[in-house]
């Protein structure tokens, strides 16, 4: 019987570290842990091993690991944990990694690894031109043109950031669950907060998507959304064509395969 080989992909966000395990083209497991800037490599290693074990994934079945991170402070400990506890040198999305994506914005080095990964997946899976929208800690709108170039974008506060600002910076507004209320006509404090947060995000999304279509001239622009709250918003925004909750994980796998084919070591790969 052939040995099962799996790929571990890790997306380090500002709030959570999301992990996915691929077996061939299928994601067979996903799990999360809190992003902790004070965690040691041993703490990360134990967490990873425990989560893999709970999901019945032997460490020795992992053929490789790839990481994208927007939190540089955790990377030393996390990278060492992967090397020590999983026994793999991880590919890190950043300088030296082959993505196949050209970046033509004014300051390419300022583009976050998570945005690059989303665009790689959206471009590869859904064609071009394409707009990748990620409803995460921040809400990001990143445009890839008909040449396959990451050329423009917009970044706004995510719903959770906006909600946190409401209940932390005002004296009488409570911490609430973020969900769509039955009506935009709120009749109590919780409903009015939910209405403002959710319908505000819906309106923002519609306006930004339509303006990006208008200014770019891409009236046939394919819009692909992802992120934790993306499903709720996507159901209300007809301008969004596809909601793919695993877009970032799929993008990490695509980038891993590009680098695995071209060079044996990620650090030797050339940036495109």
Q: Find the angle CA(250)-CA(222)-CA(30) to the nearest 5 degrees.
A: 20
Mark whether 220 is an active-site residue. Answer: no
Q: Do the beta carbons of residue 50 and residue 36 sit within 8 Å? A: no
Task: Indicate which residue of 11, 114, 118, 244 is catalytic.
Answer: 114
Q: How far apart are CA 47 and CA 45, in angstroms?
A: 5
The 8-class DSSP code of residue 82 comes to I
**133 Cβ neighbours under 8 A, 6+ residues apart:** 139, 140, 141, 142, 205, 209, 223, 224, 225, 226, 227, 230, 240
For residue 3, the number of C-alpha atoms closer than 13 Å in the C-beta half-sphere is 8
Q: Encode burial over 117-141: b for 16+ CB neighbours within 10 A, e otherwise.
A: bbbbbbbbebebbbbbbbbbbbbbb
From the CB of residue 53, how many other CB atoms can be counted at a distance below 10 Å?
11
Q: How far apart are CA 236 and CA 233, in angstroms?
A: 5
Q: Using CB atoms within 10 A of its CB, is residue 172 exposed (0-12), middle (13-18) or buried (19+)?
A: exposed
Residues with catalytic roles:
114
């Amino acid at each position: 019987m052939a040995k099962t080989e799996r790929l571990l992909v890790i997306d380090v966000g500002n709030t959570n570290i999301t992990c996915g395990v691929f077996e061939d083209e299928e994601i067979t497991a996903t799990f999360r842990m809190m992003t902790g800037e004070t965690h040691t490599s041993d703490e990360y290693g134990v967490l990873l091993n425990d989560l893999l074990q709970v999901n019945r994934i032997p460490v020795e079945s992992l053929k490789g690991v790839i990481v994208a991170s927007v939190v540089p402070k955790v990377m030393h400990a996390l990278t060492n944990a992967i090397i020590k506890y999983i026994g793999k040198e991880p590919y890190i999305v950043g300088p030296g990694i082959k993505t196949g994506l050209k970046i033509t914005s004014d300051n390419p080095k300022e583009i976050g690894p998570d945005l690059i990964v989303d665009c790689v997946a959206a471009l590869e899976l859904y064609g071009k031109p394409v707009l990748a929208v990620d409803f995460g800690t921040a809400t990001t709108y990143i445009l890839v043109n008909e040449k396959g170039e990451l050329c423009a974008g917009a970044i706004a506060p995510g719903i959770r950031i906006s909600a946190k600002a409401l209940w932390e910076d005002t004296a009488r507004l409570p911490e609430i669950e973020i969900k769509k209320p039955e009506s935009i006509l709120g009749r109590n404090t919780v409903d009015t907060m939910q209405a403002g947060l959710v319908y505000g995000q819906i309106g923002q999304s519609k306006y930004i998507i339509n303006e990006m279509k208008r200014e770019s001239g891409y009236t046939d622009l394919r819009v692909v959304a992802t992120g934790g709250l993306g499903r709720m918003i996507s159901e209300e925004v007809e301008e969004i064509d596809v909601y793919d909750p695993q877009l970032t994980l799929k993008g990490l796998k695509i980038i891993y395969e590009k680098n695995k084919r071209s060079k044996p070591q990620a650090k030797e790969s050339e940036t495109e």
